[in-house]
Chain A
């Protein structure tokens, strides 16, 4: 049960991380340094993800080890956009069955560490947990908590490396160096498409600067005519040969969720 301790921010927001939006303004990067270009791309990406309000989704995660043995995780997520701070998220676990009913509440913050609580249904106990763990595996998967937290400009320093084509889509290749000393990565390389600023692929480099994982994002769908979300996220660990596939089964925006749906009392009655 405690293996669930410190899950991260709402995954629906998380999914937003690697996405972009469909405003057709060409980004003018002329005359900027590579660092300024990287930052401009990140800012554009972030600005296209404002105003989504709230969302509810259901997700299935398939964990595969190097022998191809599978393990399934299922969860439902509710997220609320908070205009002057980080988002709020409530995650309810359905599978594995022994953790069914376990729920996780997260208040993310821009300028300080997140507030997180875990509800353990067998004991009826709500535990405040430390949000310090960024680099640990989420539910035993190849996704670390930090891979699933919302995309914020302040979390990285950026640099445009090149313009490349990934899966037939023209992309900016941007280096992202985490600013948080607790990050498990020395650097990330992200491919963001030029048209919609959707994440297409990310390489993660570990603390020894070796290539650790590659994330591939696909099946992008458009919501509210504005917000792109990948329905499929594939994380492959090159060092352990394990992988995790994260599929969004359902996703809805503007579901009427409000601030009063995110507190310790709602965490306890989450089903």
Chain B
């Protein structure tokens, strides 16, 4: 009896061990970001850093249960910055449970989703907050608490989101770069919603593929991820204000031979009460804060030359136009701008790639930015990236002007395990 019991428990233990598969992977990184111009907002008490050394880590732990029917993911992220204490931060990028069947999928926990098709800006992608201290391009996102339910049907995929809990955007500190003239006190963030950052947001998305066309329609209702800046009582700090919004969006990509045609469009509206509240603030009106119902769009193409000049390279050229109905460059970066880019994939064993782009503000001839990114691999697990970002603007009203002396060259080494 005893023996039988022992054997059974041993078998059981073996079974359990087999049922839960665990895997860890990720990277650690070392970064060096050098700024060549003195900070624009240096004061007697604070100086914007000229050199920022960073240490980053992003391990990913995955538990796969019941032969992959259930998956639990934990992906924390951390950065230590040598100069900017606001940039030294941690975040849980993912901590979620996922399960699925033939035609459905559910995710609960902290997670990330991506919506949209364009390259130069991501208007439609709204679920996750931008981790702005990471990089000025807004590509890095904070983990978002969510319950996500997906239904896969012949007529498309529908995903519903319940988003309990809001993440504030991160901002560099006084000693950092890509900050405005006034420091931002994120501890005093204000909200339209009485529940503040506990407000529950909702979103819905449908996407489908019809032959060469991939299209998506989405709706979001809740706390805007984009803050509006007001001043504190003593006019010494900027205070982020997060309004409630309703946003409908559309995205489309046509994949026709070597051409990719892309379009993203949004319509965002605010409550009348909050609009009039901003009208009552004083000399400024709702339009000065950008709290006005508006539409925005990004559209363009990418064309790829395969094996040009008798090489094995892929050479892509892309152009995108950015529009915002508010027509105000002090509120929206891409109000009337064009982006031209070139992407060169060398298709070598090191997966080397070179990307170059220019953004030109069509309303202000002297406002433009340049971006250059080179990536390659050394050995089996080490990647080397060299990025350069240059911003020019002589128009004090333009957002870009705030960052015009924050040009940088960034060298990053990431070791993957």
Contact = CB atoms under 8 A, between A and B. Distances in A.
Contacts of B333: none
B417 interface: yes
A137 B380 contact: no
Nearest to A127: B117
B105 interface: yes
Interface string A118-143: 00000111111110110111001100
Contacts of A95: 380
Contacts of A132: 257-258, 304, 306
Nearest to B382: A98
A84 to B, nearest CB: 17
B347 A140 contact: yes
Chain A CB within 10 A, most for which of B62, B152, B207, B307: B307
Contacts of B102: 258, 260
B287 interface: no
B314 A260 contact: no
Given A3-B351, A271-B62, A123 B100 contact: no
A97 B416 contact: yes
Most A-side CB within 10 Å, residue of B102, B157, B351: B351
Nearest to B376: A3
Q: Which of B117, B314, B352 has the most CB of A within 10 A?
A: B314
Contacts of B259: 130
B209 A136 contact: no
A86 to B, nearest CB: 15
Contact of A99 (B68, B312, B349, B351): B351
Given A125-B114, A135-B306, A271-B71, A98 B27 contact: yes
Interface residues of B, number: 51
Given A123-B114, A128-B255, A260-B103, A72 B380 contact: yes
B350 interface: yes
A71 B381 CA distance: 10
Nearest to A107: B209
B30 interface: no
Interface string B145-161: 00000101000010000
Contacts of B214: 128
B105 A265 contact: yes
A204 to B, nearest CB: 14
B25 interface: yes
Nearest to B258: A132
Interface string B110-132: 00111001000000000000000
Contacts of B117: 127-128
B213 to A, nearest CB: 9
Contacts of A4: 351
B209 A115 contact: yes
Contact of B306 (A63, A100, A115, A136): A136
B381 to A, nearest CB: 5
B377 A137 contact: no
B343 interface: yes
Contacts of A2: 343, 345, 353
Contacts of A129: 255, 260
A98 B381 contact: yes
B20 to A, nearest CB: 14
Contact of B253 (A113, A128, A263): A128
B98 interface: yes
A264 interface: yes
B397 interface: no
B414 interface: yes
B255 A98 contact: no
Contacts of B304: 130, 132-133
Contacts of A79: none
A200 to B, nearest CB: 27
B139 interface: yes
Interface in A179-196: 182, 184
B383 interface: yes
Q: Which of the listed residues B103, B214, B347 has the most CB atoms from chain A within 10 Å of its own CB? A: B347
A140 B348 contact: yes
B114 A65 contact: no
Nearest to A129: B255
Nearest to A65: B349
A37 interface: no
Interface in A48-75: 63, 65, 71-72
Contacts of B414: 98
A269 interface: yes
Interface in B70-113: 71, 98, 100, 102-103, 105, 112-113
A100 B416 contact: yes
A5 interface: yes
A71 B380 contact: yes
Nearest to A69: B349
Contacts of B258: 130, 132
A269 B353 contact: no
B64 interface: yes
Interface string A99-117: 1100000000000010100
Contact of B307 (A98, A126, A127, A135): A135
A123 B152 contact: no
Interface string B20-33: 00000101000000
Given A72-B380, A136-B307, A264-B157, A124 B114 contact: yes
A136 B417 contact: no
A182 B258 CA distance: 11
Interface string B288-328: 00000000000000001011000010100000000000000
19 contacts: A2-B343, A3-B346, A3-B351, A63-B349, A95-B380, A96-B380, A97-B381, A98-B377, A98-B416, A115-B255, A128-B214, A130-B258, A130-B304, A133-B306, A135-B307, A136-B306, A140-B349, A263-B157, A269-B71
Given A1-B353, A98-B27, A264-B209, 17 more contacts: A2-B343, A3-B347, A3-B352, A5-B314, A96-B381, A97-B380, A125-B114, A130-B257, A136-B314, A260-B152, A265-B152, A265-B157, A269-B71, A269-B100, A271-B62, A271-B68, A271-B71
Which 8 residue pairs across A and B have the least CB separation, nearest first? A97-B416, A3-B351, A71-B349, A125-B114, A133-B306, A140-B349, A260-B102, A124-B114
